[in-house]
Structure 1
């Protein structure tokens, strides 16, 4: 069994904890701390270092897609939702209903919201791009202020992508 490793990245919107093995990333979550405790070490797995670098590029406006191996750990339904989230283009938003429709379960809007809230791969699996049917920002495990910041960041850097 691969042991878990952790690195932290100080983003413009707080410390992000990156957890994974030498083979895949399993969690990218916001911390409510301002100080990085787990810095890059020589023995840090390359995959975690790559994740940190790709997050840094994203926050600098240099990357809008992530090329990391990651593990979805959840139910089949949650995995369908999370996979659907990866199809939402950068700098765009869709509703929970749109995601429910895209997975062929148009009545599962609330369940989609619940699955969205259990996403452990923030930013890389872009749950911040999902909004209410009324166009308003709703729920985000990292805080609505971060969701708003991420969406504005993407509009600033990526809105004119082809």
Structure 2
């Protein structure tokens, strides 16, 4: 099974994804590691990525997901997945690829980003992320409110997905 933990920058995808993977004893991957150096440079400069910038990134993750599924690996993948079309590229059968949406207010996430260090995504891009965000439906995803501590959220996700390790 692949669990895709999605949300805007600063929503806690990596932190919660790592905790979730640790609790389940699964492998964790961050979608940021699939970006090209050119994409990282643009984001570091506060330039939002275009759909054209994102397609190679999404296709690279799509190949990884197909490989993980073929190898029957259980993976937690932290990925923004802001648009429905992006998620469709990564989507497979809902029994083997599950989507978890980390929902939070602009104010809360902006506050978190103001305390963040050493990351190429910056506070300036947060509004563009919210502008781009197409929230998944409750039918296609599990929503969790990020106002809770990460450990609580990771356990909530396991409970909602009904996964036993």
> TM-score normalised to the size of structure 1?
0.28
* Highest RCO, 1 vs 2 (Cα 8 Å, sep ≥ 6): 2
> Per residue, is there more helix in 1 or in 2?
2
